[in-house]
A and B are shown apart, each in its own frame.
Chain A
Amino acid sequence: MPCPSARSDPGRDWTGVERLQDQNRLELCFPATEAAASAAIATLALRLGARGLTEERAADVKIALAEAVNNVVEHAYAGLEPARVRVECRLRPDRLDILIWDTGRPLPGLRVPAGEPASVDRDLQDLPEGGFGWFLIRQLSSAVGYERRKGWNRLSLRFDLGGPRGHNKAPNQPSCRRKGGP
């Protein structure tokens, strides 16, 4: 469950401070700006890396986390007064759960997008410059969940860690077929 203070007062209680409840739980709350998100993602990745995730899995987590947080900053709060984003990481021996809360707009259709990758099989000038975020999130995480409740969005990302924070299983296969390539 979300931390009561954050849930009851998402906009004011948290001022970008990091809260470490215990060894296996990490929380960070920050303003929904690109600069604050960039710093927060770097901090969280560093902290998680220090807790024994393999370098490769820590990288997966960082990429997926960055895409999820960027979505909040760029889309959920688009055109709104940016409020805050809260990220909570819960680390267990076999899995890492990351919960991301915001008070922005809900996801369209109250659903996690399918995350079809933008096609790169096209002429140079038509190449996509975006549209990879949800694809990367789905590729790198083991499961993605979403809940809208009382003005809150909660996105949950699960990362399975094989063994005691050791090597993970292969990332989820994409829901779409990759053309060509290995």
Chain B
Amino acid sequence: MSLSSRVAGTTQVITVGADRIDAAMAIQFKEDMRAETEGGPERVILDLSAVEFIDSSGLGAIVAAMKQLGGGRRLDLAGLTPVVEKVFRLTRMDTVFTLYPTLDDALSERAE
């Protein structure tokens, strides 16, 4: 799983470098997210703009990644492509996460 991370002020930005988060990589994604976010800033933005496809396993892995952040920290999602956005909307996970059209919007907290 290809994740890259940088810290911008009090926010950590994690960019997914893969074109999909599916059953074949869900467990690895969850583990890599745990490693990347351990002891980091309170707010984490997951940049999904390169991810063209997600299935329910990938969705579950993102939920798991938010849970393992622990109390007081939050995981926001940015740059959802149409298919990814659709899976979040159908499962109503769009009501659980704050979604931003782009990473820039997320950094300036302009929610869609």
Whether A70 pairs with B55 at a CB distance below 8 angstroms is yes
A129:B55 contact, CB within 8 angstroms = no
Task: Please tell me if the beta carbons of B87 and A63 are within 8 angstroms of each other in the complex.
Answer: yes
Whether a CB of chain B sits under 8 angstroms from the CB of A124 is yes
Residues of A within 8 A of B57 (CB): 70, 130
Report the count of interface residues on B (CB-CB < 8 A). Answer: 26
Inter-chain contacts of A63 with B (CB < 8 A): 53, 55, 83, 86-87
Q: A interface, how many residues as a size bin?
A: 35 or more
Known: A127-B63, A127-B67. A132 touches B23 (CB 8 A): no
Question: For residue B63, which residues in chain A have a CB less than 8 angstroms away from its CB?
Answer: 127-129
Smallest Cβ distance from A17 to chain B, in angstroms? Answer: 20
B66 to chain A: closest CB distance in Å?
Answer: 7
Known pairs A130-B56, A180-B95; A38 contacts B20 (CB<8 A)? yes
Name the residue among B55, B61, B67, B82 with the largest chain A CB count within 10 angstroms.
B55
Whole-angstrom distance between the Cβ of B54 and the nearest chain A Cβ: 8
Show 12 A/B contacts (Cβ-Cβ < 8 Å), sorted by A: A34-B23, A38-B23, A38-B25, A41-B22, A42-B20, A63-B83, A67-B55, A117-B92, A120-B92, A129-B64, A132-B60, A178-B92
